[in-house]
Structure 1
Amino acid sequence: MIRAVVWGENVHERENPIVAGVYPKGLHGCIADALNAADGISATTATLQEPEHGLPQSRLDETDVLLWWGHAAHGDVSDEVVERVVEAVWGGMGLILLHSSHFAKVFKRLMGTPCNLTWREAGERERLWVSARQHPIARGLPDHFELEHEEMYGEPFAVPEPLETVFISWFQGGEVFRSGLTYRRGAGKVFYFRPGHETYPTYFDPNIRRVLVNATRWAHNPEARQSSDWDAPNIDVSDALEPLEHRGAKLHKEGDAGFQ
């Protein structure tokens, strides 16, 4: 069973009646429902307003894949929690960033770039093309599908070159955007997926829900999560494989815990 946590900012749902009408259980609740309807996934939720944003170390230790939706309150996310999530990704936890989470502290920290883009909110049609048809995240999808109303994101998208570009979007106004990108950070798998503006019922769309399920399964990396390799400090190796003559002054003392 893949243990997933859907993190939601939970701001628009509480403050905007339009968003509350579209997502009465919150965006995080809707996404969790989509995952729980799939075999082999158990999804719970966490929100910004909870202590430690619902992500204490003990919970991350038991999380295989974290899905993140944020928009209006990126700056309110604790830097301590951000570093905790980053460390978990390095150690093998999967991370899926949704829509405006391109600007989340967690994503920018892992990418090391501004992660900015062009955008327009006009409720225009989005056509998503599958550009990596054999990728596990695209399993069971047609070669393209459409969302009747979405916010436009356009290139240039200031992120590092991805391992794979799974989806490319075309918008009614003419722009295109790399809407599904995969990365590896440490032992963790990272997927950015663009659709999901809060005023449109995007997360009820069956193709979008299939992507969320596929991505959660793809991001699951149980071997890495069970390994301590990424948690280890620098380790002094006293015996070299080849004959070695010590030269120069030696700074470290015996028993130093990997100081470098």
Structure 2
Amino acid sequence: MTTRVTVWNENRHENKNPVVRDIYPEGIHGAIANALKGAGYDTKTATLDEPEHGLTDEVLNETDVLIWWGHLAHHEVADEVVEKVKKRVLEGMGLIVLHSGHFSKIFKSLMGTSCDLKWREADDKERLWVVDPSHPIVKGVGEYIELEKEEMYGEHFDIPAPDQLVFISWFEGGEVFRSGCTYQRGNGKIFYFRPGHETYPTYHNEQIQRVISNAVEWAAPVGRKYPQYGNAKPLEAIKDK
């Protein structure tokens, strides 16, 4: 069965900033969704200002992997929607958090840390080095991905130690950053991927699209039932002592 993907974006920069609108006329979510459709995924989009932010129970129940991009309006995302998304991740839905989504309520809730970092908008060159060449997320990617201009994110990045570190970024100004990190929470897989500032055409880059597509394949549910918790009956008779 084809993996079902929902690309979520707050869609505020596109409505406020003509530079962003020129780069992403269909929104950041539209650019990512179109690339994934081209890769063969069953893809739809959802945005902040839709009812329930576009993440109704029906949508979430029909989503295998959720992609999340947010920046200006993290505080506007309703806590009850965050809890629904978190529950689905624990049940097995994959989650890919992009760029400034590091500060989203859902990512911070799943990480349990501030998820803070250093940043700078100065047209830095970014070189994302593959540090786990055996990982399926880097299938078809060379030793590194080079982006001519991007926003800098720098250490210390206040996240738990990743289960697997896939990319480390170097920036022209001298900083480095853990820019591709995987986690498992409950039955769900999570991938944080750093690049994607709204005023740069990063999501039109074919290598970046390839990583996101690979991450969707990696994060897709494996089909195991959610474990049962609480009081349990014995599997075998317990002998009287």
In which range does the TM-score fall when normalised by the shorter chain? Answer: over 0.9
Deviation at 1:236, TM superposition (A): 3.8
CA-to-aligned-CA distance 1:18-68 (integer Å, 9 cap, x gap): 1101100000000001110103x1110000000000001111111000000
Code of the aligned partner of 1:21 = D
Go from structure 1 to structure 2 and tell me whether the alpha carbon gap of 1:236 and 1:7 turns closer, same or farther (over 3 Å shift).
Answer: same
In the alignment, the residues of structure 2 paired with residue 199 and residue 98 of structure 1 have an alpha-carbon distance, to the nearest angstrom, of 15
Contact 1:64 1:222 (8 Å CA) reproduced: no
Paired residue for 1:185?
185
Paired residue for 2:212?
212
Paired residue for 2:18?
17
Go from structure 1 to structure 2 and tell me whether the alpha carbon gap of 1:58 and 1:155 turns closer, same or farther (over 3 Å shift).
Answer: same
In the alignment, the residues of structure 1 paired with residue 28 and residue 220 of structure 2 have an alpha-carbon distance, to the nearest angstrom, of 22
Return the index of the structure with the highest Cα Rg.
Answer: 1
In the alignment, the residues of structure 2 paired with residue 214 and residue 70 of structure 1 have an alpha-carbon distance, to the nearest angstrom, of 21
Paired residue for 2:142?
142
Code of the aligned partner of 2:164 = E
For residue 184 of structure 1, give the secondary structure of its aligned residue in structure 2. strand
In the alignment, the residues of structure 2 paired with residue 85 and residue 10 of structure 1 have an alpha-carbon distance, to the nearest angstrom, of 19
Code of the aligned partner of 1:47 = T
Code of the aligned partner of 2:111 = M
Deviation at 1:123, TM superposition (A): 1.2
Q: How does 1:75-90 map to 2 (within 5 A)?
A: 75-90=75-90
Q: How does 1:1-260 map to 2 (within 5 A)?
A: 1-39=2-40, 41-224=41-224, 227=225, 229-230=226-227, 232=228, 234-237=230-233, 241-243=237-239
Runs of 4+ in 1 over 3 A off after TM superposition: 238-242
Paired residue for 1:251?
none
Q: How many pairs does the alignment contain?
A: 240
For residue 165 of structure 1, give the secondary structure of its aligned residue in structure 2. strand
Code of the aligned partner of 1:32 = A
For residue 85 of structure 1, give the secondary structure of its aligned residue in structure 2. helix
Code of the aligned partner of 1:142 = G
CA-to-aligned-CA distance 1:173-192 (integer Å, 9 cap, x gap): 00000000000000000000
For residue 177 of structure 2, give the secondary structure of its aligned residue in structure 1. strand
Contact 1:132 1:167 (8 Å CA) reproduced: yes
Deviation at 1:241, TM superposition (A): 4.9
CA-to-aligned-CA distance 1:171-223 (integer Å, 9 cap, x gap): 00000000000000000000000000000000000110000100000000141
CA-to-aligned-CA distance 1:121-143 (integer Å, 9 cap, x gap): 11110001000001000000000
Deviation at 1:244, TM superposition (A): 5.5
Code of the aligned partner of 1:11 = R
For residue 223 of structure 1, give the secondary structure of its aligned residue in structure 2. coil
For residue 52 of structure 2, give the secondary structure of its aligned residue in structure 1. helix
Deviation at 1:240, TM superposition (A): 6.4
Cα-Cα RMSD? 1.3
Code of the aligned partner of 2:233 = V
Contact 1:98 1:194 (8 Å CA) reproduced: yes
Deviation at 1:12, TM superposition (A): 0.3
Go from structure 1 to structure 2 and tell me whether the alpha carbon gap of 1:187 and 1:14 turns closer, same or farther (over 3 Å shift).
Answer: same
In the alignment, the residues of structure 2 paired with residue 76 and residue 244 of structure 1 have an alpha-carbon distance, to the nearest angstrom, of 58
In the alignment, the residues of structure 2 paired with residue 35 and residue 222 of structure 1 have an alpha-carbon distance, to the nearest angstrom, of 20
Deviation at 1:242, TM superposition (A): 3.3
Code of the aligned partner of 2:219 = A
Structure 1 unaligned segments of length 5 or more: list them. Answer: 246-260
Go from structure 1 to structure 2 and tell me whether the alpha carbon gap of 1:198 and 1:223 turns closer, same or farther (over 3 Å shift).
Answer: same
TM-score by length of 1: 0.89
